[in-house]
Amino acid sequence: MLKEETVRELEQAARKLRVEILKMLNTASSGHTGGSLSAIDAMTALYFHKMRHDPSNPSWEDRDRFVLSKGHAAPALYACLAEAGYFPRDDLKTLRRLGSHLQGHPDMNKTPGVEVCTGSLGQGLSQAVGIAMASRLAGRSSRVYSLLGDGEVQEGQIWEAAMAAAHYGLSNLCVILDHNGLQIDGKVEEVMNVGPLGPKFLAFNWHVVEVDGHDMQAICKAYDHAEEVTDQPTLIIARTVKGKGVPFFEHKANYHGTPPSDDELNRALEHLGHA
């Protein structure tokens, strides 16, 4: 169990990152609010507690890797990378501008700390599987983490990658599923029901853990538990809320790809204690 002080520090970090996400989306007048806010707690726990990485040496061979398969949640990734020190925080103001290294989807060729280019849904898990296999073949102890959206697992390529990961016993692979129940067209269960997700991944021979995706203690405990699994990849189903942290964004599919207006930003910052 994490110390209460550590949990509070991670929770405060996630709150700060929510502020950065909302500010950059408002400045850009474009981007994805709901899924960035739902995923940021799990990502905060990775970048500021669990993963081994070095912002001063992004290409360190023994680093852990993170693959944001749901690449449209790039604002959450950029907020983490800037806070960790991969590039100046002021760069966040350039989100989606022409010439900026912070485009609408992550680009490994432009942004320090980004491991792979993602955005075409369903492909990130395949890349994570390949990285995990390469790491094992190289004899490294590095772990690979990948974050998926629940709408994303409607893609058939996800299941091919899941089958391969289990076949090769990639215990160094941990996947986090941001299970907020909504996608751009509405409820996931109505657009194309992907449930029950736990039994499906179990049938593919994965180790499966379900947690409250906004409970920092539970998230970190799940990451620790995944490291104890030695013969299977692990899926952490994180039950989350679309737009988490700002009541008037929560549970609303229309904020999947809608940035906050000036008024919404001001109200959100006031709610988050950063007015």
Among the listed residues 213, 262, 219, 260, the one whose alpha carbon sits nearest the alpha carbon of residue 238: 213
Calculate what percentage of the chain has a pLDDT beyond 70: 100
Give the mean pLDDT of the chain: 97
Query: In the prediction, which pLDDT does 274 show?
Result: 80
What pLDDT is recorded for position 193?
Answer: 97
Given this model, what pLDDT does residue 275 score?
Answer: 54
Range of 115's domain? Answer: 4-271
Burial 111-127 (b: 16+ CB within 10 A, else e): bebbbbbbbebbbbbbb
Give the pLDDT score at 55.
98
DSSP 8-state assignment for residue 46: I
pLDDT in tens, 186-236: 999 999 999 999 999 999 999 999 999 999 999 999 999 999 999 999 999
Q: Cα(240)–Cα(251) distance, rounded to whole angstroms?
A: 10
State yes or no: pLDDT of 248 exceeds 80: yes
The secondary structure element, H or E, covering residue 211 is strand 207-212
- Give the per-residue pLDDT at 75: 98
Q: 261: buried, middle or exposed (CB in 10 Å: 19+, 13-18, 0-12)?
A: exposed
- Domain tally, the chain: 1
Q: pLDDT by residue (tens digit) across 250-275?
A: 999 999 999 999 999 999 999 999 85
pLDDT digit string, tens, across residues 68-83: 999 999 999 999 999 9
Check which CATH number belongs to the domain holding 165 and give it.
3.40.50.970
Other Cβ atoms less than 10 A from the Cβ of 8: the count is 12
What are the pLDDT digits (tens) for 102-153?
999 999 999 999 999 999 999 999 999 999 999 999 999 999 999 999 999 9
Assigned token pair, 198 = 């736990």
* Segment 151-176, tens digit of pLDDT: 999 999 999 999 999 999 999 999 99
Q: State residue 1's pLDDT score.
A: 83
